[in-house]
A and B are shown apart, each in its own frame.
Chain A
Amino acid sequence: MSDLFARRLLVVTGKGGVGKSTVAAALATVAGSRGRRVLICELSARERMPALFGTRPSGAEVGLITPRISSVHVRPNEAMREYALMVLKFRAIYSAVFENRMVRYFLRAVPSLSEIVMLGKVCWHALQDDRFDLVVLDAPATGHALSLLSTPSTILELVNEGPLARDMRAMQALLEDARRSAVSLVALPEEMPVNEAVDLAAQLRKVVRMARGPDFLNAFFPSRFSEAAISSLKKDQDPNLEIAARAARAYEDRAALSAFYLEKMRTELGRPPICVPHLFSESFGALQVAQLAEVLDREIPA
């Protein structure tokens, strides 16, 4: 695989709750430490990136997180406005048309429109915004991500003239160019998240035709004990040994599960994912993101 961070757009997706935002934050950190100027785009209902890095919310404006990493919370209304202004050039026309009560009502009702403008904004940052070298997209979960990424081709089936069609072609060209974009899948070492990642990989190949970056197996439990070590404990002699042995056994059960799903991802996706270790901590913030970034830095070739 060629240099991952030399690309313009990196999409991170997977089943809900698998840690997409965390992986996106850690990826951005690694890219930043390798000299790239990175913008993280968040599309979720609630903004999370600044909290993960321990900085103040940036909202719909691009906000600086570290000297090399910025983030922006992409929201449909603001994205619509920016897009319209870009095409219309004149604010007065925008106000007359897009701030018309009837039009707002109408536009809000059709979700594909908000997907168009949100993906449009992400692609604009990747293609035209020279403040940044790389855009990391913290994408929605599986189904929504698929419909988001296939928006350009869906729209192009309906429209083939005008600025919308032109922009959709540019977006599609960016997504389908393996030198400029890649998509990474995130899963947990559990049945459903791994199945969804495998399904999504097939769908992405068929529908979106994006190049695939490395996949991630998050919250991985690497083995800590040999079977011999656990059974060597003379549990009947000491309740403390009993407690320790129970924890060790529970841990190794999880480790075995992790190994099983690592193997499953490797066979079904045709290559091994990068294992992101489970972090034992009460909270999840800047420190934990930095820890994960260290792991990714070792795993992702420069």
Chain B
Amino acid sequence: MSQLGKLLGERRVLVCVGPGGVGKTTCSAAMGLRAAMDGKKVLVLTIDPARRLANSLGISAIGNTETRITDASFRSARLSPKGQLWAMTLDMKLVWDDLVRRHAPSEKRRDQILGNRLYRQLSTKLAGSLEYMAMEKLFELAQSRDYDLLVLDTPPTVHALDFLEAPNRLLDVLDNDAARWLLTPALAAGEIGLKFGSLGASYVARTLAKFTGAQLLQELAQFLVAFRGMYEGFKERATLVKALLESEQTGFVLVTSPQTLAVDEAIFFARALREEQIPMQAAIMNRVYPQQTGAPSVATLRAAGVEETLAQTLAQTAQDYALLARADHAAQLRLASVLGPEIPLHSIPRFVRDVHDLRGLWEVNEHLFGDSA
């Protein structure tokens, strides 16, 4: 059995990481499908404004709730799973609201936050918010549901490891001495003690207010005040999430494509995970042109009886394909040399058709596990 197959059998949580646009969602869904075929109850979790997972699974829409892929869908793909495949798209706003409801110290405070205009505008845009909420939901599902396997398709991040740092970054924003110091003059008197001396702070706040208007600063202050008392809950939760990610239950799979930029980013990713001492178990290179056995020349084709114009186009096309394959092979070697012998690099060939249904996912699996279809 391939290492990837072993991973599906042993871990409870699989996190797919890698650059955007390489087919991470497809790979996540394919691995989820494989585990479901083998008898597991699997949930594939994605963050998806463009509804990619819905595309990948050939179903029209997935809400913010866990949705089971129907028997009918499986039947039309000529598959009969021993287990169950579930999918879920995260709605960031709803996850945030849940979190506020859970951690708010009182109903009054909860309503203050949920009703704050800034909260409504910015909660989903706060730095690290997307990544943190994905981890938060993953943790909640790992704890409260009976799935054998959870596959998380991570959001494409600008900075490779945002999702690991996300809990801390988010707490930095919400539980932030700087913000409190800055906004103290804008706060109702008595709400927060003056920690750093008010003169400097009020000067700074007045200057900032020149840009934003005083109204925005006041609302920001109210927003942060409303969050007071919730940090402890957040922090505790963040620690538990991190522990889950670092535990033996969780595996990391790196997904990339052979494109130069994607490989650069994947290598950056692999190194960053290593520095964080988070072991990666496998890597997948998606959409690889298979190696060619050489390209015939115009003369060879002419000798075989092909007329001139066609011979030229054929020779050119064979050359073009050989070139694509060479470039992709070089990309594989480059990534493999960084991964080292411990981490297997699986390749999925570029299919003629895009993969966007169960049958297509199943064919992907043939290349990932070698023994499926």
Binding site for B on A (CB under 8 A): 15-18, 44-45, 84, 87-88, 93, 96-97, 100-103, 105-106, 108-112, 141-143, 147, 154, 157-165, 190-193, 195-196, 199, 224-225, 229, 232-234, 237-238, 240-241, 243-245, 247-248, 250-251, 253-254, 257, 280-282, 284
Contacts and interface: CB of A to CB of B under 8 A. Distances in A.
B337 interface: no
B209 interface: yes
Given A15-B21, A17-B259, A191-B55, A162 B212 contact: yes
B216 A247 contact: no
A157 B207 contact: no
Interface string B209-237: 11111011001000000000000000000
Contact of A87 (B210, B294, B301): B210
Nearest to A193: B21
Contact of B182 (A16, A102, A196): A102
B373 to A, nearest CB: 20
A238 B300 CA distance: 10
* B contact face: mostly helix, strand, loop, or mixed: helix
A193 to B, nearest CB: 8
B324 interface: yes
* Interface core residue of B55, B211, B260, B306 (most chain A CB under 10 Å): B211
B240 interface: no
Contact of B304 (A44, A108, A237, A250): A237
B130 to A, nearest CB: 9
Contacts of B354: 190-192, 257
Contacts of B352: 250, 253-254, 257
Contact of B20 (A16, A191, A237): A16
Interface stretch (B29-37, B62-70, B315-323): B315-323
Contacts of B295: 243, 247
Nearest to A147: B125
B315 A244 contact: yes
Given A191-B55, A232-B310, 16 more contacts: A45-B158, A87-B210, A93-B207, A96-B203, A109-B127, A111-B127, A161-B213, A163-B210, A191-B354, A192-B50, A224-B317, A234-B305, A241-B296, A243-B318, A244-B301, A257-B354
Contacts of A225: 310, 313-314, 317
A115 to B, nearest CB: 8
Interface stretch (B75-83, B101-109, B172-180): B172-180
